């Protein structure tokens, strides 16, 4: 059985990655196909693996010494070229010429679902690396405005995906974007396997809250990693997540200073982890830590800068240096939410 026609036609035109945009300008292609979401995602992933696979050369994911749950990813061929996503003007955004994540005439396949597009991330984080992008243009710190729709879309993509988002600070792109990887990221695996110490904070209406503390006991002197929310239904999650984000915004005095990780079980149970950020942007191996690092998997992208050079303790310490520690009074306010 051959490849589905859309893949064959796109693949024959796109050629090697560095010629992608030139090829596209010679062969503009726009077709709309109505497909079930699962099938559309499969096509999107196949196209990305064909066009963008060069970035996966020598990719390795390894455990970090001394940690039961952290992983490091080595990706020396990951696209690092800052200008890469800056497409030529004639292929750029039709809505906002300065934004590279707004709709464009780029020939890569996209999935349109309500106010969101699902597109391949040109800066790969792994074998499957997608972006969820609202349209029209919305600022990165506007997650709360789209939380309900975004959570519904994420849950409809299925349990194989883990999603992550980071607030505006340190982002290269200002257009709201949620990352999706079709893999179980370390923080999810650790929470499923109870490899991270968690203290129950309480039960809301259908949602339970847990404080994650990889060092064991709680207290103002022990930095914690975040709050894990578990809802029996995805539809119950947005209100709780939005409330928590708003508290964090108020306490830190700035907007959207947090990392978020989401995943959804086949049973319908929905999970979110919120990690408040400090004003610091910690670096490891010369790279600023991405939001993937806060999902338990820092990326090492320079040749020779292999995760085996770092211990779990070193990585955890670096991660914690980038997190904002909530005071007991703030945590008590969180607990009041459940009463
Ligand atoms: Zn935009």
Q: Over the stretch 151-163, which tens digit does the pLDDT of each residue have?
A: 999 999 999 999 9
Residue written as tokens 């503390």?
213
Alpha carbon of 242 to ligand 1 centroid (Å): 22
Alpha carbon of 102 to ligand 1 centroid (Å): 4
H helix intervals, the chain: 5-14, 20-26, 37-51, 143-156, 186-192, 237-252, 291-294, 312-321, 328-338
Domain-located, residue 135: yes
Q: Over the stretch 18-65, which tens digit does the pLDDT of each residue have?
A: 344 444 445 455 678 889 999 999 999 998 888 888 899 999 999 999
Alpha carbon of 339 to ligand 1 centroid (Å): 40
| Domain total of the chain | 1
Q: Over the stretch 219-232, which tens digit does the pLDDT of each residue have?
A: 444 455 789 999 99
Q: Which pLDDT value is given to residue 95?
A: 57
Q: Which pLDDT value is given to residue 321?
A: 82
Domain-located, residue 4: no
Domain-located, residue 76: yes
pLDDT tier, 313 (very low <50, low <70, confident <90, very high otherwise): confident
Looking at residue 208, which CATH number applies to its domain? 3.30.428.70
Question: pLDDT at residue 141 above 90?
Answer: no
Alpha carbon of 256 to ligand 1 centroid (Å): 17
Alpha carbon of 137 to ligand 1 centroid (Å): 4
Alpha carbon of 337 to ligand 1 centroid (Å): 35
Alpha carbon of 232 to ligand 1 centroid (Å): 33
Alpha carbon of 98 to ligand 1 centroid (Å): 8
Alpha carbon of 318 to ligand 1 centroid (Å): 31
Average pLDDT over residues 121-125: 89
Average pLDDT over residues 258-278: 93
Domain-located, residue 142: yes
% of the chain surpassing 70 pLDDT: 79
Alpha carbon of 146 to ligand 1 centroid (Å): 15
Q: In which domain, by residue range, is 58 found?
A: 37-82+108-337
Alpha carbon of 322 to ligand 1 centroid (Å): 27
Alpha carbon of 115 to ligand 1 centroid (Å): 13
221 to each of 161, 197, 315, 325, how far by Cα in Å? 35, 16, 19, 9
Of residues 187 and 218, more confidently modeled: 187
Tokens (6 digits) for 90: 């004639």
Average pLDDT over residues 7-14: 37
Alpha carbon of 81 to ligand 1 centroid (Å): 20
Question: pLDDT at residue 104 above 80?
Answer: no
pLDDT tier, 171 (very low <50, low <70, confident <90, very high otherwise): low
Q: Compute the mean pLDDT over every residue in the chain, rounded to the nearest whole number.
A: 80
Residue 35 DSSP code = -
Domain-located, residue 20: no
Q: Which pLDDT value is given to residue 221?
A: 47
Alpha carbon of 260 to ligand 1 centroid (Å): 21
Alpha carbon of 176 to ligand 1 centroid (Å): 8
Tokens (6 digits) for 177: 């974007």
Domain-located, residue 250: yes
Question: pLDDT at residue 97 above 90?
Answer: no
Q: Which pLDDT value is given to residue 30?
A: 64
Q: Which pLDDT value is given to residue 106?
A: 66
Q: Which pLDDT value is given to residue 228?
A: 94
pLDDT tier, 98 (very low <50, low <70, confident <90, very high otherwise): low
Alpha carbon of 101 to ligand 1 centroid (Å): 5
Domain-located, residue 214: yes
185 to each of 17, 50, 126, 148, how far by Cα in Å? 27, 23, 11, 23
Alpha carbon of 140 to ligand 1 centroid (Å): 9
Q: Which pLDDT value is given to residue 207?
A: 85
pLDDT tier, 83 (very low <50, low <70, confident <90, very high otherwise): very low
Q: Which pLDDT value is given to residue 282?
A: 82
Domain-located, residue 9: no
């Amino acid at each position: 059985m051959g490849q589905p026609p859309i893949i064959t036609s796109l693949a024959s035109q796109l050629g090697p990655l560095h010629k992608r945009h030139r090829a596209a300008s010679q062969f503009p292609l726009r077709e709309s196909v109505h497909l079930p979401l699962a099938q559309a995602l499969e096509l999107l992933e196949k196209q990305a693996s064909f066009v963008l696979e060069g970035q996966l050369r020598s990719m390795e994911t390894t455990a970090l010494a001394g940690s039961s749950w952290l992983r490091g990813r080595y990706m020396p061929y990951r696209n690092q070229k800052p200008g890469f996503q800056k497409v030529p003007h004639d292929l750029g955004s039709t809505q906002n010429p300065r934004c590279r994540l707004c709709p464009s005439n780029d020939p890569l396949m996209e999935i349109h679902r309500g106010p969101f597009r699902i597109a391949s991330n040109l800066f790969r984080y792994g074998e499957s690396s997608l972006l969820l992008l609202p349209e029209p243009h919305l600022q990165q710190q506007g997650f709360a405005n789209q939380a309900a729709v975004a959570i519904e879309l994420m849950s409809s993509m299925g349990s194989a995906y883990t999603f992550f988002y980071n607030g505006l600070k340190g982002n290269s792109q200002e257009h709201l974007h949620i990352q999706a990887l079709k893999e179980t990221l370390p923080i999810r695996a650790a929470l499923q396997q109870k490899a991270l110490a968690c203290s129950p904070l309480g039960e809301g209406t259908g949602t339970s809250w847990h404080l994650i503390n990889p060092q064991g006991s709680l207290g103002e002197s022990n930095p914690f990693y975040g709050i894990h929310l578990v809802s029996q239904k995805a539809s119950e999650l947005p209100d709780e997540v939005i409330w928590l984000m708003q508290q964090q915004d108020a306490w830190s005095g700035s907007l959207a200073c947090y990392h978020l990780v989401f995943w959804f079980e086949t049973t319908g149970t929905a999970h979110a982890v919120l990690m408040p950020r400090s004003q610091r942007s910690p670096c490891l191996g010369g790279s600023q830590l991405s939001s993937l690092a806060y999902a338990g998997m820092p990326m090492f992208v320079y040749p020779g800068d292999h995760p085996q050079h770092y211990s779990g303790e070193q990585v955890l310490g670096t991660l914690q240096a980038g997190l904002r520690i909530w005071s007991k009074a703030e945590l008590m306010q969180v607990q009041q939410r459940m009463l």
